[in-house]
Amino acid sequence: MSTKGRTALIILIILLAVTVAYLVWPKSAETNQIVVTGTVKLPEPQINGTVSVEQAIHDRRSVRRYTNESLTLQDVSQLMWAAQGITDQTTKFRTVPSGGHTYPLEVYILVGKGGVNGLNEGVYHYNPFNHALDQILGNDVRSDLSQAANGQPWVKEAPVNIIITGNYQKMIDKYKDEKLSTRFVDMEAGHAGQNIYLVVESRGLATVALGSFKDDQVHTILNLPSNEKTLYIYPVGHSGL
C-alpha cells in the first residue's frame, strides 16, 4: 500500500473512532420534567384588597434592600396567583393575557431559611391548577442564585425569590413563527411581572425585577427543565429602606 493510501486509511480509522465515541459516550442528563418531592396547598387568594389598583400603580417602586422579616403563606399565595393563577375554572383563563391561550410561563419560588412562616426552605414550582407549591429542592440556594445573578446581593438577602421561566417551543407549536412566538412569550412575562409588582405593593412588601443573570447557572442551581428559559428573578421581602 502506498504512503498516501496508508495515510488515508489512518484518517478514516480516526474519523470512525471519533464517530463511535460520540455515539456511545454518556451525554449529560437533560430533562423536561421536574421531580416533585412534596406539595404544599396554598391558602385561597384574596381578591378584595385594601389598596386600589391606581394607588398600587402610583406607589410601585423597585427596592433592593430587605429586612429579615418573614413572609406569610398568604403573601406567597397572593404572589403566585398574581403571576399565573387561574381566574376562571371553566375556561382556565389566568391572571395574565396569553397569546392563543397558550400559557408558556412557569413560576418558581426560592424560599430561604425562615423566609416564609409555615413553609420550609427550598425551591418550589407553582401549580396553578390546584393553587399549590410542588417542592423540587429542599435547601436554601439563595447565595448560589445570587452568584449566578452576577453577584447581586439582594438575591441572597431577600426572604424569597420568584423566578419566571418561559417555554418558547410551546408558543412556536401554536403559531409556527419563531419571532412572533418569542415576542408573545416575552410580553407575557412582562404582564406577570407587573402583576407581581402591584401585589407586592398592595401587601406592604418590596421587590425589584432582575434580568441580569447567567442562564445556565440558574438552571443548574434550581434544577429547572431544559426546555425552559429563565426570564426574570424577583427578590421579595419587607422593605429595608
Q: Judge contact between 138 and 94, C-beta under 8 A.
A: no
Class of domain 34-237 (CATH, top level): alpha beta
The x, y and z cell numbers of residue 3, run together, are: 504512503
Angle separating helix axes 168-175 and 178-202, nearest 10 degrees? 130
Percent of the chain beyond pLDDT 90?
A: 83
Q: Judge contact between 160 and 145, C-beta under 8 A.
A: no
In the predicted model, is pLDDT for residue 28 greater than 80? no
Q: How far is CA 159 from the centre of its chain?
A: 16
Q: Report, as an integer, the average pLDDT of 192-205.
A: 97
At 95-137, the pLDDT tens digits run 999 999 999 999 999 999 999 999 999 999 999 999 999 999 9
What whole-number distance in Å separates Cα of residue 12 and Cα of residue 212?
Answer: 46
What whole-number distance in Å separates Cα of residue 9 and Cα of residue 188?
Answer: 56
Q: Judge contact between 205 and 197, C-beta under 8 A.
A: no
At 70-96, the pLDDT tens digits run 999 999 999 999 999 999 999 999 999
Give the model's confidence band at 24: pLDDT under 50 very low, under 70 low, under 90 confident, else very high.
very low
Q: What count of other Cβ atoms lies within 10 Å of the Cβ of residue 104?
A: 24
At 29-55, the pLDDT tens digits run 446 778 888 899 999 999 998 999 999
CA angle 236, 132, 99 (to 5 degrees): 80
- Predicted confidence at residue 26, as pLDDT, reads 41
In the predicted model, is pLDDT for residue 10 greater than 70? no
